[in-house]
Amino acid sequence: MSRLTVWHDGDCPLCRREIALMRRLDRRGAIEFIDATDGDASCPIDRRDLLARFHAREDGQLLSGAAAFAAMWRAIPVLRPLGLAARQPIVLSLLERVYIGFLRVRPKLQRALRRREAVKP
């Protein structure tokens, strides 16, 4: 199995939670997680563009959005069936539509989580 690189937004409370879960599920260490907000992080594209959508590199190919999620899922045994299903164009198209919908509500979710984090003792 090839190594997968995933870039994430370390300043985003949603991303931090999701990546923490993915790290726990990635027991084989198949994924290299890179915080794109780290000034020393190597970014294959403009950092702003990288942070606007989820990105991963699989087998040398840079993937974005649902395709990047699917690549990450394929690297994690428990999620692998979902990632393999996303190789079907119709499944990937549906996942991309869901992802675009999520991107529309993401700012509100981020604000809510940031407020919640600020209130915690």
Residue 1 has pLDDT above 60, yes or no: no
- Residue pair 38/10 in contact by the 8 Å Cβ criterion: yes
Quote the domain boundaries for residue 23. Answer: 4-119
Reading the block at residue 30, the tokens are 């198949």
Residue 110 has pLDDT above 60, yes or no: yes
Q: pLDDT higher for 95 or 48?
A: 95
| CA dihedral sign, ordered 105, 114, 66, 84 | negative
- Helical axes 13-25 vs 89-119, angle rounded to 10°: 120
Helix locations, the chain, DSSP H: 13-25, 47-52, 66-75, 80-85, 89-119
pLDDT digits (tens, 9 = 90+) for 35-87: 998 877 788 888 889 889 999 999 999 999 999 999 999 999 999 999 999 99
Number of domains, the chain: 1
Average pLDDT over residues 98-119: 91
Q: Is the pTM value of this prediction over 0.85? A: yes
pLDDT at position 48 is 87
